[in-house]
Amino acid sequence: MGRAVPVSDTFFTASPHWEWYIILYLFIGGIAGGCFLLAALLQVFGRPEDRPVARLGYYAALAGAGASGLVLSLDLTRPERFWHMLLQSHSGLPMFKAWSPMSVGVWGLLGFGGFAFLATLAVLEEEGLSWSVLRRGPVRWLARTGPATAIAALGSLFGLFLAGYTGVLLAVTNRPIWADSSFVGLLFLLSAGSTAAACLMLLATWRRRGDIETLETLARFDRRMLLFELIALALFVGSLGPVVQVLAGWWGALLLVGVVGAGIVLPLALEHRGGGPARLARASALVLAGGLLLRTVVILSSNAIHVTGTSVVQ
């Protein structure tokens, strides 16, 4: 006769079918938030030679905010109702729930997009563009030190929020793995730091912007983030308790070989050996692939668990 098998209460829930759009959002949103922060730091505390890379960071942040809104809307089963997240459909009043990470996150993404837009507008003149809009009073005012610093500071806060709230959102569910650990937000934030630095290094190499010292500063930041990420990954896996059995198969192998091996250890080794931009670019590509794989494993390994009838299927 069958007896009850002791399993986590989270195993009795249903998958929300969040797949590639959401995985892409977690990846792009993290990079966008991290890029804004790095751009702001380079702009406010860096040297004039850092400015071209700082501008790239703001452009990446703006593009990432736009892409995030797009993939999030496409993921809805009724995309034409995306605005129901912002306005109450029956009254037109603002829709906001401070205790729902998704509700707060939508407003956070909107705010981040706004700051990324302002920051981009403020630095565009440095590109030597002849657009008349850039010479108008309000835009010139944005580029002044005071407003530019305020935009950099506030936008960075929104960027950090965007990079981490998604982990909190996953934890505030009842799904296996996501709700079984409180470290997903921490992990996503650190991964956002490393993937954003990698993205900026790749962009700078590709666009031939920024001097070698800027790249080396980003590489050093990237290495620190990767080391912290290793610790956060260990905390995450350790916090899963008995649910860690879910990672015993292919998902665990992907996490170990793909995320830790190819996405953290190998780039660390490549960057440690030093070398020119080409080596940094190779390391950056690996970091980006590892960041995407991390989010893929976190989302899809949980999705694989569901209850059919009275049996838990993995």
Of 73-81, 123-131, 248-256, 268-276, the segment contacting another protein by CB under 8 A is 73-81
Q: Is 72 within 8 Å of 25 (Cβ atoms)? A: yes
Q: Is 250 within 8 Å of 164 (Cβ atoms)? A: no
How many residues at the interface with another protein, by CB under 8 A?
Answer: 86
Angle at 167 between CA 164 and CA 169, to 5 degrees: 110
Of 9-17, 111-119, 120-128, 254-262, the segment contacting another protein by CB under 8 A is 9-17
Based on CB atoms, which residue is closest to another protein, 134 or 271? 271
Q: Which of 155, 185, 210, 277 binds another protein (CB under 8 A)?
A: 185
Q: Which of 118, 119, 192, 246 binds another protein (CB under 8 A)?
A: 192
Q: Which of 61, 65, 134, 186 binds another protein (CB under 8 A)?
A: 186
Residue 306 is inside which H or E element, if any? Answer: strand 306-308
Window 27 to 66, contacts with another protein (CB under 8 A): 34, 37-38, 41-42, 45-47
CA 55 to mean position of chain CA atoms: 19
Least distance from C-beta 88 to another protein, angstroms? 6
- Distance CA(192)–CA(188), nearest Å, equals 6
Is 21 a binding residue for another protein by CB under 8 A? The answer is no
Based on CB atoms, which residue is closest to another protein, 54 or 286? 54
Q: Is 165 within 8 Å of 104 (Cβ atoms)? A: yes
Is 1 a binding residue for another protein by CB under 8 A? The answer is yes
Is 172 a binding residue for another protein by CB under 8 A? The answer is yes
Of 133-141, 212-220, 269-277, 283-291, the segment contacting another protein by CB under 8 A is 212-220
Least distance from C-beta 231 to another protein, angstroms? 10
CA dihedral 259, 264, 266, 272 (to 10 degrees): 180
Q: Is 50 within 8 Å of 7 (Cβ atoms)? A: no
Distances (CA, A) of 110 to 71, 74, 104, 146, 262: 14, 16, 10, 23, 34
Window 92 to 111, contacts with another protein (CB under 8 A): 95, 97, 99-103, 106
Least distance from C-beta 2 to another protein, angstroms? 5
Q: Which of 26, 28, 189, 286 binds another protein (CB under 8 A)?
A: 189
Buried b (16+ CB within 10 A) or exposed e, 14-39: ebeebeeebbbbbbbbbbbbbbbbbb
Residue 109 is inside which H or E element, if any? Answer: helix 101-124
Of 7-15, 111-119, 121-129, 200-208, the segment contacting another protein by CB under 8 A is 7-15
Is 171 a binding residue for another protein by CB under 8 A? The answer is yes
